[in-house]
Structure 1
Amino acid sequence: MRKLVKNKNVLLIEDNTELQNLISTFLKSYNYDCFVYSQPLEALEEFKKESSKYCIVILDLGLPGMDGFDLFKKLKEIKNIPIIISTARDDIGNKIHGFELGADDYLSKPYEPRELVLRIDATLKRYTDDDKIKINELFIDLDKKTVFLDDHQIEFTKIESEIFFMFINNINKVVSREDILNQTSLKKDTKNRTIDMHVSNIRFKINDDSKDAKYIKSVWGIGYKFIDDN
Structure 2
Amino acid sequence: MKKTMLLVEDEAGLADSLKTEFELEDMRVLVAGDGEAALTAFRTHEAQIDLILLDWMLPKLDGFSVLRRIRRTSQVPVIMLTARDYIGDKVAGLTGGADDYITKPFEMEELIARVDVALRHGQPSAATQAVYQVADLTVDTDAKRVERAGQIIALTQREYELLVELVRNQDEACSRTDLLDAVWGSDFEGQPNILDVYVRSLRAKLDGADQQKLIHTVRGVGYMLSANVAGR
Q: Tell me the TM-score normalised to structure 1 length.
A: 0.53
Show CA shifts across 1:190-216 (max 9, x none).
Answer: xxxxxxxxxxxxxxxxxxxxxxxxxxx
Give the match's secondary structure for 1:62.
coil
SS of the residue corresponding to residue 69 of structure 1 reads: helix
Structure with higher RCO (Cα < 8 A, 6+ apart): 1
Q: Equivalent residue for 1:220?
A: none
Match of residue 21, structure 2, among 26, 48, 58: 26
- In the alignment, structure 1 residue 113 sits paired with structure 2 residue 108: yes
What residue number does 1:38 align with?
33
1:71-150 pair list within 5 angstroms: 71-131=66-126
Alpha-carbon separation, structure 2, partners of 1:60 and 1:18: 14
The alignment partner of 2:93 has SS state of helix
In 2: Cα distance, 1:70 partner to 1:29 partner: 30
Query: Partner of 1:52: helix, strand, or coil?
Result: coil
Distance in 2 separating the partners of 1:78 and 1:40: 17
Structure 2, unmatched stretches of 5+, are 127-141, 144-232
Choose 1 or 2 for highest CA Rg.
1
**Which residue is equivalent to 1:176?**
none
Question: What secondary structure is seen at the aligned counterpart in 2 of 1:59?
Answer: strand
Tell me how far 1:102 sits from its aligned partner: 2.1
Kindly indicate which of the two structures has a greater share of residues assigned to helix.
1
Provide the aligned C-alpha RMSD in A. 2.0
Q: Which runs of 4+ in 1 moved over 3 A?
A: none
| Residues in 2 aligned to 1:63 and 1:109: alpha-carbon distance in whole angstroms | 14
Match of residue 56 from structure 1:
51
- The one-letter code matched in structure 2 to 1:35 is L
Is the counterpart of residue 15 in structure 1 residue 10 in structure 2?
Answer: yes
How many angstroms apart in 2 are the aligned matches of 1:128 and 1:46? 22
Residues of 2 paired with 1:35 and 1:74: CA distance?
Answer: 19
1:165-188 residue CA offsets vs partner (Å, 9 max, x unmatched): xxxxxxxxxxxxxxxxxxxxxxxx
Contact 1:7 1:54 in 2 (8 A): no
Q: Structure 2 counterpart of 1:9, which letter?
A: T
Segment of structure 1 superposing worse, 79-88 or 41-50:
41-50
